[in-house]
Amino acid sequence: MSTPSAGPRPSVFKRILPQLVILAVALALNVVVFPDFFHIDFRNGRLFGNLIDVLNRGAPVALLCIGMTLVIATKGIDLSVGAVMAIAGAVAASMVVEGHGWGTALLAAMAAGGLCGLWNGFLVAVLRIQPIVATLVLMVAGRGIAQLVTEGKILTFDNAGLIHLGAGTVAGVPTPILIWIALGALVTFVVRRTALGMLIEAIGINERSSRLAGINSRVLLVCVYLVSGLCAALAGVIVAADIKGADANNAGLWLELDAILAVVIGGNSLLGGRFSIVASLIGALIIQSVNSVILLSGLPPEFNLVIKALLILGILVIQSPRIGNYVYMLRASDIQPQPDRPKPIDHQEKEAAR
Amino acid sequence: MTLKTTLLASAIALAPVAALAADLTIGFSQIGSESGWRAAETTVTKQEAEKRGIDLKFADAQQKQENQIKAIRSFIAQGVDAILVAPVVATGWDEVLEEAADAEIPVVLLDRTVDADESLYLTAVTSDLVHEGKVAGEWLANEMAGEDCRIVELQGTTGSSPAIDRKAGFEQGIAGHDNLEIVRSQTGDFTRAQGKVVMESFLKAEGGENICALYAHNDDMAVGAIQAIKEAGLKPGEDIKIVAIDAVPDAHKAIAAGEMNATIELTPNMAGPALDALEAYLANGTEPAKWIQTESKLFTSADDNMAIFNMKKDLGY
């Protein structure tokens, strides 16, 4: 979040620099536990390698964090995205099982996700219920709804079109990667090339004054929850398509927390205001890189959560304002042997020497 | 209502055996439906209860122990005649089981055991999880017949008793065969999605051609792993031998298609023996054995897997 006067390009780069550094460190850790990490080859008509896995497996969280970033920028939070994923997956699966085409199934799943988003938006923007409570309703009830749709089973399907969305490839690249990159680019473009992004930030910083300034905060709030619901629905369809079945109990389980974490690692404040979708997406990749370290390390699974916790803790500590400040001071005193204050003395000495 | 209660009360007072003829109410706290097998267990339990004219109160815990404890407490408050529990993890049950014991409600554990005093539950109906793993290990040892084999293992949810026991059993099964070696072992949380993700990482970390066999703690993870193996351009069942446990319909289908080699059945009918034991206990106080073991049958390509698939597919797997 640098000064706007620096122009868009340098400021965006400066904004995401810490995330890029952390991502590089996380990827380097992967290389430490598995030297061939960056090796990619072309096998069975698709790109095959660990880096591809990180991009592919990161897709659900990446999709979720696009919507989550916007919601958090308005000082809100959406806890329901994991459950919405389960609902969308269940709807898509039940549609193709009933004999509809994959396009219809995708539309129905997106409609279900959109409806969930509108419901959250209605509770938050119209009824003025606090976002964490409002979205908790659907987080708890959503899995039940999904189970009603699948009748408590893992609903399997073999519709080639739908499976292609999760497990297929386009020109050798797994489809989920293309989907999240495309959606991320589209949403970033829409909010940054119009005033929308700034309006969303204004709501997050001070909703009342933004409303007094003429921003229709109610409609915008409903819209960000709608986008979050749609992103979650897309993620849900991908997850279901990946395993050729809708698993109402496990699809998207706890992913809302990963999505929030991705947004936080992306340097966005939970208190709303300035946001960067690109940084959140890098945050999602960081989380997936950490998961990858755990899988490749070959350590017993009892260590999984401990390792993840330690790495995430490390990342958050590095990002904390106090440490950031300390690093800044350290750098200021290191790079210039004579920092600001001694400078005049320097001159005086020089003058004295003359 | 009052008349019925009075009649019931007098019936209990006069003839304890006659009381049994009245409807039993039994609470069933199920883990959730994390795998197809779990859904089938739920279906079969409901069928078995209906067959016996038992009023079954069903509670789905969605994989959370706190939900199960809440469900058991509510069963106690409702004054059910007995409680069936499929515990999600092994530890942390003492307090709620004591509450049930204080209320004199017998508790029967289904499919998994707990780390609690034996006196706190009536009996546990389980398959022998260690035995299942051992059958799988012995099958692989026979199949490889002395050839070198690097095995990867997909474990169940870390800390759950099937994960611990099926791992231990498999290791017993391959013990003494120096040609068999488990090279990687990681949890796939008993789900298809994680089974696929973890298998993908195994295939890269070890190199697909260096893996000779996969042992998965349940069929769902194996089904997920089969997809990962196919995507890596290898032939599941041929390039990588696959043995798993549970014998769900999709596993029979995979064996019939030659994509999987063996599965060991975990029968979903745990409730049958459990309800038999409960009825005997409530009728005349017959104490069942502390452990009722179900059969662990091995299925391979030698069986008519499509027929079994058609028979099992409507159970709710």
DSSP string, B192-227: HHHHHHHHHHHIIIIIGGG--EEEESSHHHHHHHHH
Q: Which of B200, B233, B316 lies closest to A53 in CB terms? A: B200
pLDDT at residue A80 greater than cutoff 50 = yes
Q: Which CATH architecture has domain B129-267+301-315?
A: 3-Layer(aba) Sandwich (3.40)
Helix (H) or strand (E) holding A260: helix A255-265
The minimum CA-CA distance between B1 and chain A, rounded to whole Å, is 33
| CB within 8 Å: A301 and B155 | yes
Look at the domain A4-299 and name its fold.
Answer: ABC transporter involved in vitamin B12 uptake, BtuC (1.10.3470)
Distances (CA, A) of B195 to A3, A16, A78, B132: 46, 33, 28, 19
Residues in chain B with CB shorter than 8 Å from the CB of A48 are 204, 232-233
Helix (H) or strand (E) holding B262: strand B262-265
State the pLDDT at residue B197. Answer: 96
Q: Is A177 exposed, middle or buried (0-12, 13-18, 19+ CB in 10 A)?
A: buried
Under the banding of pLDDT at 50, 70 and 90, the label for residue A154 is confident
For A71, which DSSP code?
A: H
Q: What is the ipTM of this complex?
A: 0.87
Distance CA B169, CA B298 (A): 15
Residues in chain B with CB shorter than 8 Å from the CB of A53 are 200-201, 204
pLDDT at residue A111 greater than cutoff 50 = yes
Q: Which of B159, B184, B233 lies closest to A43 in CB terms? A: B233
Section A215-228 average pLDDT:
97
Query: Three-state SS for B157?
Result: coil
For the stretch B282-316, pLDDT in tens is: 998 889 999 999 888 999 999 999 999 998 888 87
Tell me chain A's radius of gyration from C-alpha atoms.
23
Q: How many pairs of residues across A and B have Cβ atoms under 8 Å apart?
A: 90
Residues in chain B with CB shorter than 8 Å from the CB of A90 are none
Least confident of A132-141, A321-330, B101-110, B194-203: A321-330
pLDDT at residue A193 greater than cutoff 70 = yes
| CB within 8 Å: A153 and B316 | yes
Section A261-285 average pLDDT:
95
**E-assigned strand segments in chain A:** 40-43, 46-49, 154-156, 169-170, 173-174, 245-247
Question: What residue ranges do the domains of chain B occupy?
Answer: 2-126+268-294, 129-267+301-315
Under the banding of pLDDT at 50, 70 and 90, the label for residue A337 is low
Section B244-255 average pLDDT:
93
Under the banding of pLDDT at 50, 70 and 90, the label for residue A4 is very low
Section B10-29 average pLDDT:
62
Least confident of A168-172, B7-11, B98-102: B7-11
Least confident of A26-35, A345-354, B109-118: A345-354
Q: Which of B42, B204, B232 lies closest to A44 in CB terms? A: B232
State the pLDDT at residue A6. Answer: 40
The minimum CA-CA distance between A114 and chain B, rounded to whole Å, is 25
| CB within 8 Å: A152 and B42 | yes
pLDDT at residue B16 greater than cutoff 50 = no
Tokens of A313: 């803790």
The minimum CA-CA distance between B76 and chain A, rounded to whole Å, is 24
Distance CA A202, CA A217 (A): 9
Q: Which of A152, A239, A250 lies closest to B39 in CB terms? A: A152
Least confident of A97-111, A261-275, A279-293, B282-296: B282-296
Under the banding of pLDDT at 50, 70 and 90, the label for residue A1 is very low
State the pLDDT at residue B314. Answer: 81
State the pLDDT at residue B17. Answer: 43
Q: Which residue of A has its CA nearest to B155?
A: A301
State the pLDDT at residue A83. Answer: 97
State the pLDDT at residue B245. Answer: 94
The yes-or-no answer to whether B2-126+268-294 and B129-267+301-315 have a common fold is: yes
Question: What residue ranges do the domains of chain A occupy?
Answer: 4-299
| CB within 8 Å: B204 and A50 | yes
Q: What percent of chain A stands above pLDDT 70?
A: 91
Q: Which CATH architecture has domain B2-126+268-294?
A: 3-Layer(aba) Sandwich (3.40)
State the pLDDT at residue A127. Answer: 97
What b/e string do you get for A199-211 counting C-beta neighbours within 10 Å, with b at 16 or more?
A: bbbbbbbebeebe
State the pLDDT at residue B122. Answer: 94
Distance CA B28, CA B91 (A): 19
Q: What is the mean pLDDT of chain A?
A: 91
State the pLDDT at residue A152. Answer: 75
The minimum CA-CA distance between B308 and chain A, rounded to whole Å, is 18
Tokens of A78: 């959406």
Least confident of A53-57, A131-135, A348-352, B243-247: A348-352
Section A39-56 average pLDDT:
92
Tell me chain B's radius of gyration from C-alpha atoms.
22
Q: Which residue of B has its CA nearest to A40?
A: B204
**DSSP states along A84-130:** HHHHHHHHHHHHHHTT--HHHHHHHHHHHHHHHHHHHHIIIIIS---
For the stretch B155-167, pLDDT in tens is: 999 988 889 999 9
The minimum CA-CA distance between A186 and chain B, rounded to whole Å, is 28
| CB within 8 Å: B186 and A295 | yes
Section A51-63 average pLDDT:
97
pLDDT at residue A166 greater than cutoff 60 = yes
* Termini Cα distance of chain B: 39
pLDDT at residue B38 greater than cutoff 90 = no
